[in-house]
Amino acid sequence: MSSVTYRSFRPEDIPGAHALSLEANWPHRLADWQFALDIGQGVIAVDEKGDIAATGLVWFYGDSVATLGLMIVSQHHRSRGIGRAVMDRLLDLAGDRSILLHATADGQPLYEKLGFEATGHIYQHQGDVVAGGAPTTAPRALQTADLPAVLALDTSSFGAARAALIRNLAKAGEAVVIEENSEIVAASFRRPFGHGASIGPLIAHDLRHAEAMIDHWTQNTQGFLRIDLTSHGEALGERLAERGMLRVSKVLRMVKPNRGGGDPLKKSCLSLVAQALG
Ligand SMILES: CC(C)(COP(=O)(O)OP(=O)(O)OC[C@H]1O[C@@H](n2cnc3c(N)ncnc32)[C@H](O)[C@@H]1OP(=O)(O)O)[C@@H](O)C(=O)NCCC(=O)NCCS
């Protein structure tokens, strides 16, 4: 049996990690790995030939919450305990934070063994967009001056502060907000990702505002668009399907409760930034 060594994930490991995600049929581009690594840290396993045999990353949102993802073991290295060893190292990095992740069928048995509990589902919708009607409440573009209010809205919706992620999203893509009585009550981001673009987070207390933002993005996107709805956003599924974004998979959301308690997600968080990042 071949042996592997473990070390921290470095920027120069991105091409090797990207090869693993392609092998797993994941859509990530090199730029998506870079985006993830910019605000996270990871572990890789290297085999005897010097090739990357496994990856896993973790992102810290304040002192109490972390998310974990981009966990991949290359096909010919699987079922030898490498996934478990990468997870043990990521859990060490996360310390006493509560950890969230989104589990594929492959990953679920490993996560259950490590104490993760199911807390809901994520519904992945995607496809080539069909433009629908114009939104009834027109969202407006995010201005720099809106950022503090949007960061506060995201923190209360996601359940932990993730300012670096939201700021990087604003740089990488575009965002719109809905304002009522001079207060920002809804926000959503769209950035290049995978086969086209992805919407997330989508934050709204009122379903009509969420629908208006879906209409905005589908009116203003050509080609492939993806969204990963949380359990709270499932009601948007029908509208998304009408706009060409069909449900293509359902994955399990899991939490390993710790200092941050259980799953902190609030009802206003209707879509993830990404299954890895939360
Ligand atoms: C999920 C994945 C990372 C697991 O890696 P791995 O190196 O094969 O896992 P390990 O050999 O360390 O197995 C870990 C544990 O899970 C158990 N396990 C793994 N697959 C299992 C299965 N299908 N059914 C039951 N148990 C399983 C093993 O028995 C082992 O338990 P143990 O530590 O008590 O012996 C790997 O299958 C993979 O990369 N899959 C494709 C990408 C993916 O879906 N990643 C997960 C994203 S959330």
Cβ(74)–Cβ(20) below 8 Å: yes
The pLDDT value given to residue 235: 97
Ligand 1 centroid to residue 82 C-alpha, Å? 8
The pLDDT value given to residue 136: 77
Q: What is the CA radius of gyration of the chain?
A: 19
Task: Output the CATH code of domain 124-271.
Answer: 3.40.630.90
Q: Please name which of 5, 4, 34 lies closest in space to residue 17, comparing C-alpha atoms.
A: 34
Cβ(71)–Cβ(53) below 8 Å: no
Q: Which superfamily is assigned to 5-120 in CATH?
A: Gcn5-related N-acetyltransferase (GNAT) (3.40.630.30)
Smallest CA separation from ligand 1 atom 37, residue? 106
The pLDDT value given to residue 58: 98
Cβ(37)–Cβ(11) below 8 Å: yes
Ligand 1 centroid to residue 56 C-alpha, Å? 13
The pLDDT value given to residue 133: 72
Smallest CA separation from ligand 1 atom 4, residue? 83
Give the start-to-end residue ranges of the domains of the chain: 5-120, 124-271
Among 3, 57, 78, 122, say which to mutate for ligand 1: greatest number of ligand atoms within 8 Å of CB. Answer: 78
Among 88, 104, 110, say which to mutate for ligand 1: greatest number of ligand atoms within 8 Å of CB. Answer: 110
The pLDDT value given to residue 89: 98
Distance in angstroms (rounded) separating the CA atoms of residues 166 and 39:
10
The pLDDT value given to residue 1: 55
Contacts of 105 (CB under 8 A, 6+ apart): none
The pLDDT value given to residue 73: 98
Q: What is the DSSP letter of 236?
A: G
User: Which of ligand 1's atoms lies nearest the C-alpha of 74?
Assistant: 39
Q: Please name which of 225, 138, 129, 221 lies closest in space to residue 186, comparing C-alpha atoms.
A: 138
Distance in angstroms (rounded) separating the CA atoms of residues 46 and 55:
9
Ligand 1 centroid to residue 213 C-alpha, Å? 38
Contact residues of ligand 1, CB 6 A cut-off: 24, 71-73, 78-84, 103-104, 106-107, 109-110, 113
β-pairing verdict for 183-193 and 41-46: unpaired
Q: How far is CA 122 from its chain centroid? A: 10
3-state secondary structure of 107: coil
Smallest CA separation from ligand 1 atom 27, residue? 109
User: Which of ligand 1's atoms lies nearest the C-alpha of 78?
Assistant: 8
The reply to whether domains 5-120 and 124-271 share a CATH topology is yes
Alpha helices in 141-221 (DSSP H): 147-158, 163-172, 207-219
- 66 has which bridge partners? 60, 99
The pLDDT value given to residue 2: 63
Q: What are the structure tokens assigned to 73, written together? A: 């073991």
Cβ(58)–Cβ(41) below 8 Å: yes
Smallest CA separation from ligand 1 atom 41, residue? 72
Distance in angstroms (rounded) separating the CA atoms of residues 33 and 124:
19
Low-confidence residues of the chain: pLDDT under 70? 1-2
- Count of residues in the chain: 278
